[in-house]
Structure 1
């Protein structure tokens, strides 16, 4: 464990937190490639575990780390907007499937919020916890705003986002293999809709078409949820 004066010196500027985050990410991705890219253990999860382990061993409080790395969250918005480029490149293919996508999206996005809140309610969770889990399938920049509007915890939301993304990658890969689905458009859309940014990263590893449809699924899910979830929450007395 590091001494208190050393911790204060390291965390007095954001450079340490940013460098630590980048180092954890690079090491996690290197391990991911070394393990032959298992779908159930993405590099971002290994990076998060490495980072959490270092903070626990060093004695650096999470709040101090978060204050230093907070400005990285600002990049989430531009990164999400930048996904519009592959969408534009795949626009002809997207137009071909607009009808099934329009039917699938509301059902899938609604179920994504419903089953999380429903399971939490059955387990006796408080309204605060349920409000924190409702937007767990939405990309972080949008999910944070929704959670704050519902009165949930952003910290709990971030954990739910990570778990949801990892689980979506594993289950979509498994279902596609079992059902012998090879259409990158379907796989990508499912990854983006259920696994938000993490699923989209995985989709781009499959191919540009999968990545574009994952971007579409992630974006539309975020818009749909942001518009209707707060309204549904108030109507249901949340």
Structure 2
């Protein structure tokens, strides 16, 4: 069944807005785990605007022993600075089960495109090798309409994560057929060369079911912004359970 990995960046955004310790990132993760999610996702950035390296270390201790998978996202090309040691160093130190590599620049509000493997493949290849040597499964953030999805397997990645933002926006506009078809075809192409498929960005309770019913064999969905937003009204644990019910219904 598709694993739900909850991205808790937004908890850190709220905490950082007051410069204190609350709400607790660790308590949020514990609540999500108690509600049954299969993974915790964080996306630390060099500017420390939400999840910080100390959060990663705290969560690594919490998740040690296999309570759930720890997925750390980020730009592998961003250099270390100040207290940010670099993505590869954080993944190795935390013992993350999965590293999701994302080509986001420092100034981006959120990830909004996948890798161009014609341009980035040779830079990524040794970094993927280093992450896998540290015990991390490696997933590459990719656009559904990329012509180069198969290259991810050639440079050693284990998975791709389909960037689902365009699908989610089309769904909200009431006409998602084309974007949904692109996602399904991207998954089929990836799986044909031995890659597993994750998905994430702007997925929510309304659009997740149709996505999973159409896109074959999605291994994991990473959901944060919508889930945390919905939890403001319904509570964190009940919201996680609602997502798990959507996943179960979609997979029968």
Same fold (TM over 0.5): no
With normalisation by structure 2, the TM-score equals 0.27
Per residue, is there more helix in 1 or in 2? 1
Higher relative contact order (CA 8 A, sep 6+): 2
Higher strand share: 2
